[in-house]
Amino acid sequence: MSEHCTASLLDTQGLMCPEPVMLLHNAVRDLAAGELLQVLASDPSTQRDIPRFCAFLGHELVEQGEEAGVYRYLIRKTSA
């Protein structure tokens, strides 16, 4: 995953569904349009849930990856 030093970080490692997406929803509300949020998660269900969250609310899933059991997502908030 490329480095995006201007991204805020939301670490949800150790939390299980639905907590990561609930925290993501709250964190996105605090961002301005165009800002980036990097999400770290350990729950495999986030591979399904976070892309669906982005598609449903219209946010851009810039990057998605997994390394050593840590799922990483980079999300750009759209103007909504």
The residue annotated as part of the active site, out of 17, 23, 57, 61, is 17
Q: Which DSSP state fits 77?
A: P
Residue 17 falls in the annotated catalytic set: yes
In DSSP terms, which residues pair with 39 in a beta bridge? 10, 73
The residues annotated as belonging to the active site are 17
